[in-house]
Amino acid sequence: MPTRRIFFNQLALDARIGILEHELRATQPLHIDAEFDVDISQEVHDQNIQSVLDYRQLRHAIVDECTQAHVNLLETLSERVVARILNEFPDVQSVRIRISKPLAFSDCAAVGIELHRSR
């Protein structure tokens, strides 16, 4: 099956995540990199956004899932995002998501989790 890849690089948002005392009191920044392999059996029509998967909808689902409630672990959050994408977007055949905390440690740029799932 032919696919097209949609991707986001360093989507930045503030989320309520973590189990440490200071993480429970305030939001913290997250960076999200994501790739979506999308079924392209339908022909693209340049004047019709409905002939492709609108990446605004993917972005909305990621942001919403990451900001709707406090989550303790990045592992849990990444699983939730991937499950939502696969549930809401039937044309997505494969998802790879990397969620990182850029301020978690002072001696590295970020720490995070990467998850890959396919149908």
The CATH number of the domain holding residue 82 is 3.30.1130.10
Residue linked to tokens 């429970």:
24
pLDDT tens digits for range 73-91: 999 999 999 999 999 999 9
Could you tell me the residue range of the domain that residue 42 belongs to? 3-118
pLDDT, tens digit (0-9, with 9 covering 90-100), for 14-28? 999 999 998 999 999
Asked whether residue 43 carries a pLDDT value surpassing 80, the answer given is no
Is the separation of the CB atoms in 98 and 112 below 8 Å?
yes
Q: Which residues pair with 33 in a beta bridge?
A: 98
Per the structure, how many domains does the chain have? 1
